Structure formats: C-alpha cells, structure tokens
Structure 1
C-alpha cells in the first residue's frame, strides 16, 4: 500500500500499513536470490508449516470464509494474512464485484486468527456484501480467484523471523446467490419455525454441498450458537429457538456449507411468544446427574403447551412406562445399576400432539469402582502423572480423587494409535524400591480388569516409570458412561493390585473422556485482544482460570462455543490457564 493517502477519491485508506504484501515478499526473495553482494547470516529458526489448502467452487454473490492450519516447530506465535493475488488486466478503481480480473478484496494487517471472512463478518452481518469504501465485494460474476495466506512466526529475534505462504483457488460458479430467505422477520420462541434458504444448485456438482450447519447469534456474530450441526441442503428446515431469546430483536441466523467455504446470514429477527399452543417435537434433550439408581432428564420448554408425555424403559424391555408432565424435566429414580435405558418425549396441545423425539439412551453407573488406598505416604508417593499433553503434579497423600476436578480431566482420542504414560515417584530415600500400576476403565462398567491395565512395573528404583498403551479396537464412545484411570504406587517390590489397602504409597483416580476427534494443542487468539478470546481444540464446558501478572487468581469460568468473554477486564497483561494446559500470557488492549 505504498500509495495510501495520495490518490484522492481513490484512496483505500489514509496511511500505509507496516507490513509487506505476500507478493511483495515473494518479489523481494526472488530479487535477493539473484544477488551476490549481500552478507549472509545463519538462521536456525525454522519456517512455519502450512497444511495443504483445497480448491472450492462457490456460488456467485455469496460470502465465504478461508482458514489456514499452520504449526511452528519452535512454538512461536503465528499470525496470518489472507490476500487476493489476482492481477488485473486493466485499471480497477473501485471494487463492485463485476470485474473478472484483479482483486475484489483488499489486504488487512496480520492477525492471530487463521480465518478470514470475505467480506469481513461485520459487513456480512449488516447485509453489505459489496462495499466500495471498504474495498471488499463478493464476486457477482463467474470467475476464478486466487488467494495467498502468509504465515509469520514472529520470532522474538527479528533476524530469526521466518515466513511461509500457501495459495488457495476459489472458483466462482454461474449459480447464486446462496442466501437466507428473509421474507419472515418474526420467529416464535420455543416452537418450530421454518427457516428457508436459496439452494441455487449448491447441492450438486461442482459445489457438492449435501449438508449445511445452522447457527444463531444475538450479539452481531461475537458468539455463534449451534441449532443444527448438520441438516440436508434442501432449502428448508424446522428450527427451534430457545425460550430465553424471547423479546430479542437482534437474533440472526447463519446457514453455512459443510465441506465448502460459503455461508449466508439473515437480517435481525424478532423473537416473540406464540399466541396459541403449537405442538413441536421437543429439542435440547439433556441427561445429567446419572447415578447407579437415578438420572435427571430435561428439554427445552415449549410455550403454552398443555403437557408432555415422557416414556422410558430398560433397553432389554419391550414396553415403555409412560408419564404425563407439566414441566420440561423429570427425575427418574429406583433405576437398576449399570443398565441401559431408552426414553422419548412428545408435546401435547388440547387437540393435537407432536411426534415423539427419536429414542435417546443413557446408562446408569455401577455402585462404584472398588476402593484402594495406602496407610501411609511417608516412604513414597506419586509426584507427577503424565499422559501425552496431560500433566498433573501433586503432593503427599494416601489417596487422591481427582475425578471431580475439571482441571485434571484426561482426554483421549480414538484416533490416537498409541499413548505414552509417565509416572514420577517421590521417595523418602533414593534407594527405596517402588511398584507402579495403572488401569483405565475403558468400557465404563466400574471395574478395573486385567485387560484394562495400561502400566505394570514392580520393584524399581527408576526416577520415572514409562509405558505405552493403546485404546481397545472398535471401542464405542458413550458420553453417559463414567470412565476412570487409576494409578497406584506402592513402596516395595510386590505387584500392585487394583483394589484394597496396602501399607505405604499412594493411589490416584482421574476422570477420562474419550473423543472421536484428534487431540491437538490449545490455541487462543487474538492476542492482544479487546473483549473476547477465541480458542481452538477446547471442549465446551472446559474450565479456565485467569490470573494477574503477579499470579493472583482473578476469575474462574467455562469455555463455551470456543469463546471467553473478558470484556470486563482493565488493560493489562494476564495469565490464562485452560484445563490442564500451561498458562498463556494474554494482553488486554
């Protein structure tokens, strides 16, 4: 942007930005490589690695999002710049989306966010897909666009800083626009509303979008809440907005392609209360407080409904027990331990009723895993347990139950072929022999069996006991089950048992959560931030702690929808600790 502020009415902005365009970097490198008069220095820092970027075909006149996935061997803080790199065949003075060559989108300063919306999301939320003043416009004609993401590693030593880039092709098709049908400006809270959108052949080649995701926001896109994770891209879907949105005039709905990059957003919708009973299949089913003999089940309240019919049974039975309810919740008692139950629910008005929900399932817990503890930790105890990125240090104890501590939850992915476990003992005397064993209750039946043993070392003076284990093949993930890991350390050279009491050592129990997703390191962005911190690879409900620069705990909360609201903070430096990860330094602007 070397001509910023000197071209009169054609100015994009008043001042130059303090960074090089991706193409300028390429030109500089090409020129330097042709010279021999410079002085070379060794650069030990490695460039970032960028995963391959796929090409997509999108409908015309439609917003889209591009995202890069990059890593850095030295764990430097990465920043991203997305830029369109198409040369114009003639002078382009304003972007209006009708040009078939040149750039339709301007360059913006590097950001820690690996995503960029085209146009920027604030424009899309306002219904502005073409802005001459912002120099951003969706293409309104069929054409090919080429984008480059430049990833900078921002090494603290300037001479060591490295840059990588990758290109991505976006083809604009002849169909479009993909947009949310905005004929209806009022939705009812708590009941089914028909949301429609223009498919414009995007469910066919070359777009190939068979399913879409539907979300809503009430704050202009700061936080998106999922309504439907996936639904057919057929142009219509019944959606139920929570009763809590009643009275909202800022709710907007988003329909985004699955397996492609384009999306559309509705204008603001008024959420009002139904004027009469409307039967709707209950949604928002939640099963919680599961014990060996009870469970609590709830769902989203439906306004003006007469009553609900709730049915449940043991999975092995053929006949349901039916209960009529006035409230959208029920507590089941006198259930059998370690038993699977099926349930379903429907809503009723005075003269009509909805269909039942699909059958949902939960399993009661066993009475409990067997007890185990030592009588003394004077001779030896467990100082640290590590499984891949999970790490927990603790002090002397005969038994430590960490299963209720959300900061000490072990997440394991079914996609992980093998895991390494490391146990560090603390001995009163370096020559003290210890035996260490570990088990994971993979099937959640409440028993630590021989086949579930992941570690077994007897009579060792090693400073660390290391082993590896794999998850059972064809393992089923059931979120209603409670899985535990038990680590037992016993002073001496006898073999450790999974249950019972022994004279000296320690036993530790942990909660384990299994997932189908790959477990990757937690990332936060932007940093510095203004109001919100975004996260990646963090499960909803994960607890975070916020400390000031001196280490004083200021606040504890939970990550929801990969966002943390820190708008209440003063401008300063803080330490953010998410789950059992190491603390991250963040700066409030």
Structure 2
C-alpha cells in the first residue's frame, strides 16, 4: 500500500512538473525576447515646413514602438504608436520654422526606456546634389552684392563635394523684393592643370522647396580660373516672403547640369540661406524691422545672433529663472561653454529694445 501511495505521489509530481514546464514553454516570447533598452540610431529626414520623418535602428525581437515629440522647454508631449514592425514615422501638422525634439521607445509587455532625443527644425527641404571628386577643381569664392544692402556677402572656401552654409549667419544673403542689378560672382580654383567649367546658380524665389528652371539666376560656360563667373539679375516682385528664408544653390560642374539635383564627377555644390526683404520699406526701416534671431538651436558651444547692433548686451537665465551669464555680444556671438545641458533663455538688450528668446544647450 505504501509503495502504491509513493507511486501515485511521484506520478502526480511528475505530471505537475511536466505541466509547469509546458506552461513555461507556452509563455509569450515577449516575456523572454522583448528588449526594453532605448532605441538607437535616431535620425531625421524629409524635413519640411510642417513635417519630418524620424527613423531608428530596427529591433526584430521588439517590433512595436512608440514616439513622442514636443517643442523643447514645453511640458506637453505629443505621442503616437508606430505600426508594428516599422522603424520610421512621419510627424505631420508641425509649426513652420520651429525646433522640435523627438524620442522613441520600445513597447512590449511593458514600455521600455526612451531614447536620447534628436532635435530638428521645420524648414524647406531641398533635393540633394554633390560632386564625387574634388581633386580637380572647386568653388573658392562666392560673392553677392545685393542692391540696397551696404555689405556684400563674401564666402571663401576650400575643396568639398557639397557644403551647406545655410546655418552660417555671416554667409546669409539678403535681397530686396523687386530689386534690380543684384550681382553674383563665383570663382573656381583648379588643384591640377587649370581648365574650364560651367557655373550655375538657382534661388528658390517662390519658396516651394524646388529649384525650377525659371529660378536660375546664373548660367556661365567655359569659366576659367583667371576670371570669376558673373551674373546680374532681378529679384521679382512676386518673390515669396517667408520667415524661414529660402536657399540659393551654386553648382560648379564640368558639364552644364540639366537641373540643380543629383551627383556629378568634378566640381562642387554650395547652398546659402537667403532672406527676402519687403521692398516697400526703405533700407533704414528694413534694418529697424529686423527681428533678433538665434542659430543654431539647439547649440553646442556658440550661439549666433542676427538682427542686433554691435552695442547689444545679453543675460542668460536657466529654466528656473536663475541668471547663469551676462555680458556684451561679441561679433554677433555668445559663448555657451560654461553652460550645462538644458533649456535656457537669452535676454538681449539692444539700445531701447529688449528681446527674450529660448534656446537649448546640447
């Protein structure tokens, strides 16, 4: 009898053990394979005035993700669930000319850790263009003399397949709408034996993000190192006013390009930011109406400031309202090396005018 009881008891234990083992094997894989670590490889692309696409490194074991975004410094996040198995999401309905921060998180049985944020600013997005070989020749100088603007824009540079100068305030170009006699000069330098090239330039006059054929402001053939390519042109009265500005693209190529997009072998492409000024205002009035702007935002070590005089002073405050720095704006720049990462406000005092702007130290 005792042996029978022991046998039955052992049988029950064996069944229970088997059931427990079987149950564990049937548990959802997410309990074992779901990775709640923060996603990596975040990047922004296809940025327009009102949208942008965020992508990240896919995790096949964790197909579900969630994104969130906000204007830096604000407390409210906008969230959205990403379609299962996708590692990209297009955010729409954004404010033009505005900086946003975006984060991504993996979602399984529980929500994981949010990724490090990536920042982007809504603006016009243009087609890509670049050379593949800079060993033969490159653009060495671009100079713009704008009618009604006292100081020309002068840009000296070395070899590069493509250079984006749109964030460089010292190289920003300004034109009065309806102005005539604006002059663009482009100099090329040969590393090897001097030859000839073509130089073409476009300005996105209607601010639609496309360099159209009727927006070409320079077409020059057989340009040599001895003399720059020069073009004189008019900014039409119908040019679009936009707070984000538009782009001027300069292309130096051995052959005449069909358009402003794509790659080619020898030469260089340079992009410049352009601001249109209402021609109904005088030069003096336009200068007075200029609003202070800061760039880049987020900033690392230096904050550039436009729209101010040489006599401007600044004060910096953190998110708690505590003053963290003050001084005189030197050469339209403010040093941020002493600041830790976070959201700050810079107060600019320019004569009788006081402006307060928000920025991020990254």
User: TM-score normalised to the size of structure 2?
Assistant: 0.47
Q: Which has the higher helix share?
A: 2
User: TM-score normalised to the size of structure 1?
Assistant: 0.30
- Structure with larger RCO (C-alpha < 8 A, sep 6+): 2
